[in-house]
């Protein structure tokens, strides 16, 4: 599993462990769980744990997933943070035209 192309989030159990400050979680995994918060891209997790190696972080993420405290999903184009991957100018123009037509119709109704 490639770490850098995933988005991680705490599961319900992970959030409960975080809230209860469960002692069964190792200090290193605790740091990872804290950096994930309600959801974080792997790059953000890595950046917040700069004092640890990427290999260690990946190992801890795998452990957290295996015990059900964290889940991850692959990064898809729909998660494109600069919004260029799913940008369709023709669709936007079509929606703008629909809005213009609705606005004109409403203006006509109000003018009566």
Rg of the chain taking only CA atoms, in angstroms: 22
CATH topology of domain 3-75: Arc Repressor Mutant, subunit A (1.10.10)
pLDDT at 94: 84
Could you give the angle at the alpha carbon of 70 between the alpha carbons of 65 and 73, nearest 5°? 85
Q: How far apart are CA 60 and CA 26, in angstroms?
A: 9
Query: How confident is the model at residue 77, as a pLDDT?
Result: 59
What are the residue boundaries of the structural domains of the chain, listed by start?
3-75, 77-112
The per-residue pLDDT for 49 is 92
User: Residues 6 or more apart from 64 whose CB is under 8 A from it?
Assistant: 14, 29, 32, 33, 70
pLDDT at 37: 86
Predicted pLDDT of residue 96: 84
pLDDT score recorded for residue 92: 78
pLDDT in tens, the chain (112 residues): 456 688 899 999 989 888 888 778 888 888 999 999 888 888 889 999 999 999 999 999 999 999 999 998 887 755 455 555 556 678 778 888 888 888 887 878 777 7
State the pLDDT at residue 112: 75
pLDDT at 85: 58
Q: What is the predicted pLDDT for the residue at 111? A: 78
> What is the reported pLDDT for 102?
81
């Amino acid at each position: 599993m490639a770490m850098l192309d995933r988005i991680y989030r705490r599961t319900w159990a992970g959030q409960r462990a975080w809230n209860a400050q469960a002692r069964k979680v190792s200090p290193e995994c605790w740091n990872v769980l804290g950096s994930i918060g309600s959801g974080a891209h792997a790059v953000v997790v890595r950046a917040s744990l700069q004092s640890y190696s990427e290999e260690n972080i990946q190992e801890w993420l795998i452990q957290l997933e295996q015990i059900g405290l964290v889940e991850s999903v692959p990064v898809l184009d729909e998660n494109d943070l600069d919004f260029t991957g799913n940008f369709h100018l023709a669709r936007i123009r079509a929606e703008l035209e629909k809005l213009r037509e609705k606005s004109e119709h409403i203006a006509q109704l109000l003018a009566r």
